[in-house]
Chains A and B, each alone.
Chain A
Amino acid sequence: MDFSLTEEQELLRRTAREFLAAECPPAFVRRLASEEDGFSSSFHRGISALGWPGLVVPEAYGGQGLGFLEAALLLEEFGRAAAPGYFAPSYVLAAAALRSASPRLARSWLPRLATGEAIGTVALFEESELLDARGVTGRARRTRGGFVLRGKKLFVPYARVADFFLAPFRLGSGIPLFFVPKETPGIRIEELSSYDLTRRLYEVHFHDVRVPEEHALFPKASPWSTFDGLLLLGALAVSADSLGGAESMLERSVEYSKVRQQFGRPIGSFQALKHMAAEMWVEIEFSRPLVWYAAHLCDTQPRRASVAVSMAKARTSEVFSSVADRAVQMHGGIGFTWEHDLHFWYKRAMANRAAYGDPAFHRERVVSEGLEGRRHASP
């Protein structure tokens, strides 16, 4: 038994931390927040040069063929830097789903995804925001040689910069995912103004959008080409992001407490703050093994990963949002200002908590599947 990272995984973490510290400092995050699509092509060239877009893309398609544990480690670092948030939907979720596409579709898109030449995104949710099949009301209709799609998808990350969408539509009694290039006629995109300045969300209308036969991904080969599978991977990705974000907020608060003086001494010498910081740290450290384990199960026993992912999502969401509160508190008034950087993470915590199922949703799953359903793969 070994519950630790390999040297390669440690190296990936270090590389990511160094790269993001240099290329994605808070000043960059701030600048991006005011740009049209929240996207920077130079930053994108940087991550592409490191091969990260191809992390979970099989080697046969020009990727690195690594797993979700590596993706989680990388996403933790992205969360730590509050980096622009298209990475997970495109290079983890969409890439994982496309691995089970028809060979022709996979051949034409996975290599482009792996090099960063193409960006994808997932359009999973609708107005009802139901997190299971009931939430999919958009319909696919079979026509000669393909399908016609009609429906509205909400909370779609980075729809403007994406080159394609993966979206579930109802087809008879099934719910396949459909691969839809953004330029297809019938697509209309509207931005949803969000407090989270580090990510962009859109509403995407599919009005009689025509796609060919091979653009439907049926859930036979892979658990990741389904609504449930992508919900799970999304929850995992957000968990890793929250872990890194919380850690970053704690570090910033501790550093500040060492330099900020009140009553003639650094505020970090007061026990009230020490205990707050210690609690935050403990909560973060005990979230980490949940994220690692959930990612590990997604790699090794994907059909038994859902309880572990729900545990990770519920805990990291609670921890990130409450760490965020306390971090601002430890900073006092300055932490509440626009000019201080802390609010980027604070808002990301708010968004992460809600994304891919809130803590209450995931705690319920922990009980129904883990305690009653006995589907939990406990080590």
Chain B
Amino acid sequence: MDLRDSPEERALRKKVRAWLRRNVPRELRDGPGAEYGDPARIEAAKRWQRKLYEAGYVAMGWPREYGGQGADLRTQTIVNEELVRARAPSLIGMMGIQMVGPTLIQWGTEEQKRRFLPPILTAEEIWCQGYSEPGAGSDLASLQTRAELVGDEFVVNGQKIWTSNAQFADWMFCLVRTDPEAPKHRGISYLLVDMKSPGITVRPLVQMTGDAGFNEVFFEDVRVPRKNLVGELHDGWRVANSTLLHERNMLGSATRTRQLFDRLCRLARTRERNGRKAIEDPFVRQRLGDLFARVEALRLDSYRQLSEAVRGSTRPTAASMTKLVGTELNHEICALALELLGSYAPLTRRSRRAIDRGIWAWEFQFTLGMIIGGGTSQIQKNILAERGLGMPRG
């Protein structure tokens, strides 16, 4: 066990920190200050990702031939930590970088990798995920969107739902049913769909937060070339499962949690409660102490997972644990922040009285969405109990 940076790591950290100090755009600091779907926000976010990529700090672990640097896991972790420290905005192309990208690196054809990976990094192409359907949420494998192979094309009909970013995404990675006769896990395929294809209709769904963050996506005879199939025909469930693992890690990210917690501490030092600083209130102190220990545990566990990954001994249920713990912790952090805000808690960023631009009420709601998305907490617990502890399937 040795938690110190090596001299090279220390040098990298210093370099990244200096670069971020000069380059993090002030208006994007600390996350969404504008409407989610605001085109100006999207353009600014794309510019930020591109800039970060050009500086060499995005997906550093990807192979060189697809735009990465073949860097080790530790390198990217150091950069990610510094991004959090600098309160840099999260990347708009996250689903490409964290989900479909790693999936293509594992399962994609050479042609697919060359075609799709580089524009993910530069934010020239934004991706969305077509998994959930109105009748297929936690029971994802019961999805009904059909894709029939006609000649060299799939013809897709059906509907996806809760599709984040579909309103501005260029591509969707999508699960479709290619064999309706097979048992439900075995007739699914994984397709890459151009969102500009004729027959696709995107209808925004307004989230609890008031933002149109996710959408319904309708497919009417949408044609997808066969070369956009990832993995084998009917074998999409296996491919999808590797994407889900990446998603769980992204949702439960320790760095994001630490960022939220640091903001909570800033709030506790400035807000008053019963005529003194909130942080001096014994009840608040107990809650902060508890959260701090759990935030630190999440972070230390991410180091543990990193060390395991470096040695090739990943625990198969670690991603489910991280998702479960990380998303619930985020929500709890926001809940305490709202308590500290008292009557100011529900004010939105449009009110001049709003504290922290109304971000806490927004985050409190958003983080609840993250507890549900990517497999609800209950689904993660089923996975842990059955696959991890070997308890019998019901």
Task: Point out residues on A near B: beta carbons under 8 Å.
Answer: 1-6, 69, 254, 257-258, 265-266, 268-271, 273-275, 277-279, 281-282, 285-290, 292-293, 296, 308, 310-312, 314-315, 360, 362-368, 370-372, 378-379
Are B391 and A285 closer than 8 Å at their CB atoms?
no
Give min CB distance, B349 to chain A, whole Å. 27
Are B391 and A268 closer than 8 Å at their CB atoms?
yes
A277 to B382, CA, bound (A): 10
A314 to B380, CA, bound (A): 26
A69 to B3, CA, bound (A): 14
Among B1, B285, B298, B380, the most chain A Cβ lie within 10 Å of the Cβ of B1
Are A292 and B1 closer than 8 Å at their CB atoms?
yes
Answer whether residue B389 sits at the interface, using C-beta atoms and an 8 A cutoff. yes
- The chain A residue sitting closest to B3, CB to CB, is A379
A69 to B385, CA, bound (A): 30
Interfacial chain A residues near B4, Cβ < 8 Å: 1
Are A363 and B294 closer than 8 Å at their CB atoms?
no
Are B382 and A69 closer than 8 Å at their CB atoms?
no
Task: Point out residues on B near A: beta carbons under 8 Å.
Answer: 1-6, 9, 74, 265, 279, 282, 285-286, 288-290, 292-294, 296-301, 303-304, 306-308, 310-311, 321, 324-325, 378, 380-382, 384-386, 388-394
Are A254 and B391 closer than 8 Å at their CB atoms?
yes
Interfacial chain B residues near A3, Cβ < 8 Å: 1, 3, 300, 303-304, 306-307
Are B381 and A274 closer than 8 Å at their CB atoms?
yes
Interfacial chain A residues near B296, Cβ < 8 Å: 290, 293, 308, 311, 378
Are A289 and B300 closer than 8 Å at their CB atoms?
yes
A285-B321 in contact given A4-B304, A367-B292 (Cβ < 8 Å): yes
Interfacial chain A residues near B389, Cβ < 8 Å: 254, 277-278, 281
Interfacial chain B residues near A270, Cβ < 8 Å: 394
Are A379 and B378 closer than 8 Å at their CB atoms?
no
Chief secondary structure at chain A's binding surface: helix
Interfacial chain A residues near B286, Cβ < 8 Å: 360, 363-364
- The chain A residue sitting closest to B307, CB to CB, is A4
Are A271 and B394 closer than 8 Å at their CB atoms?
yes
Are B303 and A266 closer than 8 Å at their CB atoms?
no
A363 to B381, CA, bound (A): 28
Supply 20 further A-B pairs (C-beta < 8 A) apart from A257-B391, A268-B391, A364-B286. A1-B306, A2-B3, A254-B389, A254-B390, A271-B382, A274-B386, A274-B394, A278-B389, A282-B321, A286-B294, A289-B301, A289-B303, A293-B300, A310-B289, A314-B289, A315-B293, A363-B286, A367-B279, A371-B288, A379-B300
Are A1 and B3 closer than 8 Å at their CB atoms?
yes
- The chain A residue sitting closest to B285, CB to CB, is A367
- The chain A residue sitting closest to B286, CB to CB, is A363
- The chain B residue sitting closest to A67, CB to CB, is B1
Interfacial chain A residues near B391, Cβ < 8 Å: 254, 257-258, 268-269, 273-274, 277
From B288, B300, B303, B325, A282 is in contact (CB under 8 Å) with B325
